[in-house]
Amino acid sequence: MVSQPSPGNEGATNIVEKVKAQRKTNLPDSITTMLSLAIITSVLATVSATSIPRQLYAATPANTTVAFFQGGSSSDACSGTQVGSWGEYTAGVCNDITVYGLGIGESSTNNCVFTLYKDSKTCNGTEASSVVSVSIPQGYDQFCVDAGVYDGGKNVLASGIWSCF
């Protein structure tokens, strides 16, 4: 119930009349409420769908095992003698290589790559005589990489970076 404005308060009367006129031309309250709820639901669905990160692939491993070999052949650099205990390479970290062959552990969930920088101990592509990317398939074995360092790194230099995707 709307009370009548007191004398001298004609502005309030005009506002009440305008509200009554608008109510007559507007949609019924139930339709307005349904439209409002539909808009709010649509906005919330869009916000929640775009703000929740989803993992679309297996997480990449942070490190892998590596075995060090010396005395292998050019056809199988890991056929020589294992000269070091099992080590570990961390993803994205440059490693100075002082052996002929590397037995790099395969990832059970991802394909990986080992980038070999020949004639560089610092993974510097501008000083390396060649940069070779070796694909390491997904699996449960070790993958042999021929680093070609036969003198312990005295004259023949190499370095490499392991990563997965």
CA distance 112 to 118: 19
Full-model pTM: 0.64
Question: Three-state SS for 70?
Answer: strand
What CATH number does the domain located at 63-164 have?
2.60.20
Average pLDDT across the chain, whole number: 81
Band the pLDDT of 123: cuts 50, 70, 90.
very high
For the chain, the domains span: 10-51, 63-164
The C-alpha angle 67, 68, 72, rounded to 5 degrees, equals 120
Q: Residue 74's pLDDT is what?
A: 85
Cα dist from 28 to 18, 20, 35, 39, 119, whole Å? 17, 13, 11, 17, 80
Q: Which pair of structure tokens corresponds to residue 137?
A: 């398939």
Q: Percent of the chain having pLDDT more than 70?
A: 65
Mean per-residue pLDDT, 82-99:
93
Instruction: Express each pLDDT in 37-63 by its tens digit.
Output: 666 666 555 544 444 455 455 578 999
